[in-house]
Chain A
Amino acid sequence: MMTEQAASNRKQVALALAVAAVAIAIIKLFTPLVDLRLPEGQGLLPWADALDSFFNFIKGDIQNERFGLMHITRWISEGPLEFLLDTTANLMYGKNRWPKIGPVPWPAIVASVGVLAYWLGGWRLTFLALGTLLWTALIGQWDLAMQTLSVLVVAAPIAFFIGLLLGIASWKSSRVERVLKPILAVLQTLPFFTYLLPAVIFFKVGPTAGAVATIVYAMPPMILMTALGLKSVSSEVVDAGYMSGSSRWQMLTRVYLPSARTEILVGLNQVIMLCLAMVVLTAFIGMPGLGAKLLAMMNSFKIGRSFEIGVTIVLLAVMLDRLSKAWVMKQPEHFEKSTPWWKKHWALLTGLTLFIGFIGIAQLSADAPHYTLTEGKKQGNVLQYMWGISDEVHRTQGLSQGKSIDKAIKAFLEIDSVQATTNWIRGFLIVDVLIPFRNFLLSLPVPTIVLLVAAAGYLVGGLRSALVAGGFFVMVAVSGWWDRSVITLYTVVSAVTLAMIIGLPLAIWAARGAAPPLTLKSGVGPFLSGLAGWIFTKIPLALLAAVVAGSYHFFSGQSETMNFLAPQSVSLYLFVGVFLLLCFLVRNWRRDSVMLAIVDTAQTFPSFVYLIPAIMLFGINDVAVIFSILIFTLVPLLRYTIEGLRGVPPEMTEAADMSGASRMQKLFNVQLPLALPTIAIGFNQAIMFAFFMVIIAAFIGTQDLGQELQRTLAGTDLGKNFVLGICVALMALTFDHIIMRWADQRKAALGLN
């Protein structure tokens, strides 16, 4: 525990550093000498060239037969990895490779996954799995989804097992942990564009590079969670294990790993989620399937169909997430001794029967004519249509509504009031907020920013943190990409600030639980404010109902004869009906779980799909960039704030209630301070996400490190690419270090954990 004396010492030193920083900024107004800014693109030393020669040296040369790292990685990717990928590819979508028996007909897969889901988690899970897979097939994306999954079913288990092993290793040996920790930190913060070239060069463009990039990206949380889980196994359990004479292997597999199951489960869940998050990005290096199609659709301005692919990715993510959770949660079943074998294995038997049955049906129907949906409708014979698609389903036979969704999205974006609002936001934010802020940051001399960062470091962690934080920024400064780094920083800070302004009140509202029932007993004032609150909570439902009624209005052709929601129009009845139905459906829902569900969806929805609407709303400028980052950064902010507020010990809030605190007093004096360490972790995550997205936002058009990284792709400039990537990582790590230090200290001070 830090003494009062030390704390005030720290404050003084930090203050001194900050004063020095401001002083330098003021001196710069008179003499630019203190600026110490290197010309853009020219580092203190030729880092990029040095790195290039280093890479060339370790890489080896396949053409000139100089042995190097590349020979090893190529052996892995062209040997075992490619073999695995080819096998799954053959089974799932019929790639012409060993064992040359695929593709397995889609109804067979749907049915067996359905049975599996029932066995794991009952009807609800079955409903989810069947719904997801049927949507995928009927929308005409079955082949694409299988192409994607054929890589993921290889990549996710590999990431899981390597992660598990490294996690165990870093728990066993503190030396391994010390080596792994910084590597993982850099891996997690290195921008995606930096993975791209090495993956292609070392692992061969195609599914192999896609799989490797996915594994590298999805693994770190698995390692961290495994180590965390193993460390927190309680000593009673360990003692019991030793007392019953377990060997070391038994200790690990029977005692430690089962006890750490919850954390390992979270790790697995993260692996699956991150794998799906990479589906679109890895399409740049040869990942087949949904992601590649999404990019092609975006580039020919087909918003509707890219939206549908986004929905498929979200559904698949949710399905796999729930299935994997149910699998780990499943307790072993115990049967009476006399139970017949078929009763013990009913699920396996049913699954197999259906699987073989559907393969048989597919064989029989293979030569049946494949009708498209419209043809099927014309003939009025649904069965024949179904028969036709029982072995393979193609997109032309699907129910895709791409064009209608296109129309609806464009119509929404063209509504005058929408445009007027976004134009106003755009003008205000750009001219009055963003540009001045950016120019201000750019005008600060280099030492000022370095000293400010060091001051923050000193405040939370003393000399060591000050050196780490300041040192990282000095490294950015000597890299020769200072201005672009500052622009990156400006975008991240703006987006996260905006996310805080929007996200914190939203999270506080969501965590507050249901409002008390409306009565006039306690007076008119509380009744009115309660009524206002009630109306406020119904706004989202009304909006949803309006969307449903609006779509009907639009597609039924009513829009040509009648105004939307005019008296006596069908859309009005539809609106009222849907609204009441929604009110009924959600009457028992908890706000926080609804909010978290929305947040989860927003996170798994491929960020690329937001790109076009963001540009159409705001144009190609910083507002669109910040908007697309904002959606991502809101996710951890909301999640951790809600969790932090929920986790406040009830005796604390009760104490506040008893001493007669008002709701606001309770919030600001009890709940928020106690939740602050958790909120800080969410804030930290938000910043990490923002650093990730700000680079992706180069696809909208930015002037920061992301744009420069994009430029390196043209010249396959490994060295420069790496220097730029490290700049991003260093800035992200500085924030990470400072915020996490602070959160740990707050926690200790509050006596939490």
Chain B
Amino acid sequence: MKKLSSALAAGALALSGAAIAADSSDPIVIPIHNWSSQIVMSHAVGQMLEEMGNSVEFITTDSQAVYESVRLGDVTFELEVWEGAFGASFREALEKGGLHDAGDHDAVTREDWWYPMWTKEACPGLPSWEALNDCAELFATAETGGKGRYLDGPVDWLKHGKERVEALGMDFVVINAGSAAALWAEIGSAEKDKRPVVVFNWTPNFAEAVWPGEFVEFPEWEDGCDKDPAKGPNPDALYDCGNPASGYLKKAAWDGMKDKWPAAYKLLTEISFTNPQIAEMAKFVDTDEMEPEEAASAWLEANEDVWKPWVEASM
């Protein structure tokens, strides 16, 4: 079999690599979820690890339940811990023990109310939230009565749209979409007749390339806005600010990784991607229709100066 020889070669390589780095020859298990940048990034890091002589395996999992698996060591690390979307699950797993914070990426994340550009034509005062509130009627639908409709992310992303609407006294009804796919379908169906919509969105994300748009500017985030009513414009309410405009994007590692694969662990802590790099990875898959593995190879080939130093520092 053609694969046989290459498998043997890989095995030999793994053995020799293991001798130098003293990494275990067990496969490192990398979780992949269902959005492109995470899949490509995981494959890119996987290929770096293979370069170092480790064996790597990928497992598809749910992006919330994954922290339980990292904690138990069933998967070795998680490359994209978004502050907004997964912060809560991450913190909870952190408390239970078994995983730890393996450092931040350079990239910052932002998750907030967002609208596609055509909305601005109907409501020119945007992106200010007060202007949005004045146009609330534009966003009304059959089921919301006279109030505007804001489509929030799925409940398990633990956004606080409802609380914010109340805290700021906005004329909006918050509806939770059930999945990212549902959000895209909503924007997609509004696209044809340029119906104004305001939905939950985040960056970096493939959607920016498909539908240009902007985030709504809410009162700026202050630390403690989610815990201390005094922060933010409304003295009696929590969540009366926008989300942090620069949230973290972390890596999380299983506690046992450090001892079992020391070199790979070193690489994980070295790794730090920037927003443009993440956007480029996602673009390969979403726009250029590459497969994630190919996209990862293509990205690695084009950016050797970025990742080679990380690998060298970890060997």
Interface presence of A362 (CB below 8 A): yes
Min C-beta distance of A695 to chain B, whole Å: 11
Min C-beta distance of A432 to chain B, whole Å: 10
Would B189 and A413 count as touching, CB distance under 8 A?
Answer: yes
Measured between beta carbons, the chain A residues less than 8 angstroms from B3 are 94, 101-103
Please name the residue on chain A nearest to B67 by beta carbon.
A716
Would B291 and A284 count as touching, CB distance under 8 A?
Answer: no
Measured between beta carbons, the chain B residues less than 8 angstroms from A366 are 2
Interface presence of B302 (CB below 8 A): no
Having A286-B59, A288-B59, A292-B60, one finds 4 other A-B pairs with CB under 8 Å, namely A197-B68, A206-B74, A396-B290, A621-B143
Min C-beta distance of B283 to chain A, whole Å: 11
Would B176 and A707 count as touching, CB distance under 8 A?
Answer: yes
Given contacts A205-B59, A300-B286, contact A714 B181 (CB under 8 A): no
Partner of A205, one of B75, B175, B189: B75
Interface presence of B156 (CB below 8 A): yes
Give a binary string over A82-109; 1 marks a CB under 8 Å from any B CB, 0 the rest: 0000000000001110001111000000
Would B182 and A63 count as touching, CB distance under 8 A?
Answer: no
For the complex, what is the distance from the CA of A120 to the CA of B206, rounded to whole Å?
Answer: 48
Partner of A196, one of B62, B89, B93, B184: B62
Min C-beta distance of B180 to chain A, whole Å: 5
For the complex, what is the distance from the CA of A301 to the CA of B67, rounded to whole Å?
Answer: 26
Interface presence of B210 (CB below 8 A): yes
Measured between beta carbons, the chain A residues less than 8 angstroms from B286 are 300
Would B192 and A414 count as touching, CB distance under 8 A?
Answer: yes
For the complex, what is the distance from the CA of A287 to the CA of B58, rounded to whole Å?
Answer: 11
Would B34 and A699 count as touching, CB distance under 8 A?
Answer: no
Min C-beta distance of A627 to chain B, whole Å: 13
List residues of A (189-216) whose CB comes within 8 Å of B's CBs: 196-197, 200-201, 204-207
Would B89 and A715 count as touching, CB distance under 8 A?
Answer: yes
Would B74 and A205 count as touching, CB distance under 8 A?
Answer: yes
Partner of B60, one of A288, A426, A699: A288
For the complex, what is the distance from the CA of A102 to the CA of B291, rounded to whole Å?
Answer: 21
Would B74 and A427 count as touching, CB distance under 8 A?
Answer: no
List residues of A (687-710) whose CB comes within 8 Å of B's CBs: 697-703, 707-708, 710
Min C-beta distance of A358 to chain B, whole Å: 12
Measured between beta carbons, the chain A residues less than 8 angstroms from B141 are 619, 621
Interface presence of A611 (CB below 8 A): yes
Would A299 and B179 count as touching, CB distance under 8 A?
Answer: yes
Interface presence of A33 (CB below 8 A): no
Interface presence of B97 (CB below 8 A): yes
For the complex, what is the distance from the CA of A615 to the CA of B34, rounded to whole Å?
Answer: 19
Given contacts A435-B143, A611-B182, contact A296 B36 (CB under 8 A): yes
Measured between beta carbons, the chain A residues less than 8 angstroms from B155 are 707-708, 710-711
Please name the residue on chain A nearest to B179 by beta carbon.
A699
Interface presence of B163 (CB below 8 A): no
Interface presence of A354 (CB below 8 A): no
Tell me the dominant secondary structure on chain A's binding face. Answer: helix
Would B61 and A286 count as touching, CB distance under 8 A?
Answer: yes
Would B185 and A426 count as touching, CB distance under 8 A?
Answer: no
Measured between beta carbons, the chain A residues less than 8 angstroms from B103 are none
Leading 5 A-B pairs by shortest Cβ distance: A615-B185, A292-B60, A366-B2, A699-B178, A301-B184
For the complex, what is the distance from the CA of A572 to the CA of B188, rounded to whole Å?
Answer: 31
Give a binary string over B89-100; 1 marks a CB under 8 Å from any A CB, 0 the rest: 100110001100
Partner of A96, one of B10, B39, B75, B290: B10
Measured between beta carbons, the chain A residues less than 8 angstroms from B65 are 196-197, 200, 205, 284-285, 713, 716
Please name the residue on chain B nearest to A414 by beta carbon.
B192
Measured between beta carbons, the chain A residues less than 8 angstroms from B10 are 96
Would B185 and A714 count as touching, CB distance under 8 A?
Answer: no
List residues of A (617-654) whose CB comes within 8 Å of B's CBs: 617, 619-622
Would A101 and B4 count as touching, CB distance under 8 A?
Answer: yes
List residues of B (75-118) whose CB comes within 8 Å of A's CBs: 75, 88-89, 92-93, 97-98
Would A396 and B177 count as touching, CB distance under 8 A?
Answer: no
Chain A interface residue number, banded: 35 or more
Partner of A620, one of B66, B177, B289: B177
Measured between beta carbons, the chain B residues less than 8 angstroms from A430 are 142-143
Give a binary string over B11-35; 1 marks a CB under 8 Å from any A CB, 0 the rest: 0000000000000000101011011
Would A295 and B143 count as touching, CB distance under 8 A?
Answer: no
Partner of A299, one of B34, B59, B75, B210: B34
Write the residues of chain A forming the contact surface with B, with a CB cutoff of 8 angstroms: 62-63, 94-96, 100-103, 196-197, 200-201, 204-207, 283-288, 292, 295-296, 298-301, 359, 362-363, 366, 391, 394-396, 402-403, 410, 413-414, 426-427, 430-431, 435, 611-612, 615-617, 619-622, 697-703, 707-708, 710-716
Min C-beta distance of B57 to chain A, whole Å: 8
Would A296 and B4 count as touching, CB distance under 8 A?
Answer: no
For the complex, what is the distance from the CA of A143 to the CA of B4, rounded to whole Å?
Answer: 18
For the complex, what is the distance from the CA of A622 to the CA of B175, rounded to whole Å?
Answer: 11
Interface presence of B7 (CB below 8 A): yes
Measured between beta carbons, the chain A residues less than 8 angstroms from B175 are 620-621, 701
For the complex, what is the distance from the CA of A366 to the CA of B1, rounded to whole Å?
Answer: 9
Would B291 and A394 count as touching, CB distance under 8 A?
Answer: yes
Give a binary string over B136-157; 1 marks a CB under 8 Å from any A CB, 0 the rest: 0000011100000001001111
Measured between beta carbons, the chain B residues less than 8 angstroms from A697 are 178
Min C-beta distance of A389 to chain B, whole Å: 14
Please name the residue on chain A nearest to B7 by beta carbon.
A100
Partner of A702, one of B158, B178, B291, B294: B178
Would A710 and B158 count as touching, CB distance under 8 A?
Answer: no
Given contacts A100-B7, A363-B1, A431-B142, contact A612 B69 (CB under 8 A): no
Partner of A287, one of B60, B74, B192: B60
Given contacts A300-B36, A621-B175, A707-B155, contact A714 B75 (CB under 8 A): no
Please name the residue on chain A nearest to B5 by beta carbon.
A366
| Most chain B beta-carbon contacts within 10 A, residue among A197, A292, A395, A697 | A292
For the complex, what is the distance from the CA of A201 to the CA of B72, rounded to whole Å?
Answer: 8
A-B contact pairs, 5 of them (CB 8 A): A96-B27, A204-B74, A616-B189, A700-B182, A701-B154
Would B158 and A714 count as touching, CB distance under 8 A?
Answer: yes
Please name the residue on chain B nearest to A284 by beta carbon.
B62
Interface presence of B277 (CB below 8 A): no
Would A205 and B98 count as touching, CB distance under 8 A?
Answer: no
Would B60 and A300 count as touching, CB distance under 8 A?
Answer: no
For the complex, what is the distance from the CA of A342 to the CA of B97, rounded to whole Å?
Answer: 64
Please name the residue on chain A nearest to B184 by beta carbon.
A301
Would B60 and A620 count as touching, CB distance under 8 A?
Answer: no
Given contacts A205-B61, A285-B61, A701-B177, contact A620 B186 (CB under 8 A): yes
Would B184 and A395 count as touching, CB distance under 8 A?
Answer: no
Given contacts A700-B182, A714-B156, contact A616 B69 (CB under 8 A): no
Please name the residue on chain B nearest to A612 by beta carbon.
B185
List residues of B (112-134) whose CB comes within 8 Å of A's CBs: none
Measured between beta carbons, the chain A residues less than 8 angstroms from B98 are 63
Please name the residue on chain A nearest to B185 by beta carbon.
A615
Interface presence of B47 (CB below 8 A): no
| Most chain B beta-carbon contacts within 10 A, residue among A63, A285, A701 | A701
Measured between beta carbons, the chain A residues less than 8 angstroms from B39 are 296
Would B59 and A206 count as touching, CB distance under 8 A?
Answer: yes
Measured between beta carbons, the chain B residues less than 8 angstroms from A288 are 59-60
Given contacts A284-B62, A395-B291, contact A298 B181 (CB under 8 A): yes
